[in-house]
Structure 1
Amino acid sequence: MDATFWATVALFIFFAVVFYLKVPGLVAKSLDDRAERIRNELDQARKLREEAQEVLAEYQRRRKEAEKEADDIVASAEHEAALMVEEAKQKTEDYVARRTALAEQKIAQAERDAVNEVRAQAADIAVEAARRILESKVDAKLSGDLFKSSLADVKAKLN
């Protein structure tokens, strides 16, 4: 009965106590519980990851929609600006055309007025010259009648 024998007996007693107290089952149960807890944590982490991916996809979709809406707004603004520029250009051209036509009308009227004034002055001068010539050559009564008829003829031709 040496020490090896007692060490072997103690080892068998230890194993008997360990099996009697169901330590391997407790260890296995503890390991199974821990494995289950880790599995649950992994499942929860996977669910959180999926939710995060869904949220990310939603935000990316919203960002793309916002970018598209912003592009649409910019395109619409550019289109409206182009229309406004075209409208302003057309209004300016119309305004210039109206002002040019008005100026041309005023110039034409001024020309007509000037021509009429020159004609009237020429007629007045001619009548006055004719009166002086006739006055010097014809007696007063004949000259007055002749003057009046000449004046009527000149005025009729001018109108």
Structure 2
Amino acid sequence: MANPLIILSEAAGEAHADPTAFGMDATVWVSIAMLVFIGILLWKGVPAMIAGMLDKRIAEISKQLNEAEQLRLDAESLKAEYEAKLADAAKEADEMRVRADAEAEALVTKAKADATALIARRKQMAEDRIAAAEATALADVRSAAAKAATEAAAKLIAEKHDAKADKALVDQAIAGVTKG
């Protein structure tokens, strides 16, 4: 709240005088106090301390920036290394897939060839068995026919021939056996 005396005196039209000391007003005294304060700060080396603290802080920030730059470079290096490893792994996976495809194709081809060969061997074995069975059957038929012919011939000879006719019949049978 404003001083009522000053308000009354201003209202009465009285001019009031600014306070002074030793002929200097308040503005001069504030200026002198500021100059003395600044002088004391300079005398005690405060600007040098502030500059030292700022230099120290600048050095710390610079160090942190350098570390950050180094970390960024390391990260980029690691990123490039892992990208190269990833590319190598992808390339190796593709090569493995191609080799696996080729091996699978080779296995399928071999399996087809083996199956064809097995079928051919089994067919040949079956044909050989059939041929052996035919040969055995033919030999059995020939043996039975020869036995039947021999028995029939012996019977006919015994019934109808004499010694002279027997001799001619034996010669004929020998000739037949050497031909067959």
What are the equivalent positions in structure 2 for 1:1-159 lying under 5 Å apart?
A: 1=21, 3-139=26-162, 141-158=163-180
- What TM-score do you get using the length of structure 1 for normalisation? 0.81
Q: After superposition, what is the alpha-carbon deviation per residue over 1:10-56, rounded to whole angstroms, capped at 9, x for unaligned?
A: 22200111233342343233223312321221121011111111012
User: Relative contact order, CA 8 A, sep 6+: which one is greater?
Assistant: 1
Residue identity opposite 1:66 in structure 2: A
- What TM-score do you get using the length of structure 2 for normalisation? 0.73
Q: Distance in 1 between matches of 2:154 and 2:170?
A: 10
Query: Alignment partner of 2:98: what SS?
Result: helix
Q: Which runs of 5+ in 2 are unaligned?
A: 1-20
Q: Distance in 2 between matches of 1:142 and 1:56?
A: 119
Query: Alignment partner of 2:53: what SS?
Result: helix
How far has the Cα of 1:3 moved from its partner? 5.0
Task: Give aligned-pair identity as a percent.
Answer: 34
Mark the structure with the bigger radius of gyration: 2
Q: Distance in 2 between matches of 1:34 and 1:12?
A: 29
How far has the Cα of 1:125 moved from its partner? 1.6
More helix by share: 1
How far has the Cα of 1:98 moved from its partner? 1.7
**Deviation larger for 142-151 or 116-125:** 142-151
Residue identity opposite 1:27 in structure 2: I
Q: Distance in 2 between matches of 1:45 and 1:144?
A: 130
Q: Distance in 2 between matches of 1:148 and 1:35?
A: 140
Residue identity opposite 1:135 in structure 2: A
Residues 41 and 47, structure 2, Cα contact 8 Å, conserved in 1: yes
How far has the Cα of 1:129 moved from its partner? 1.8
RMSD: 2.3
How far has the Cα of 1:137 moved from its partner? 1.8
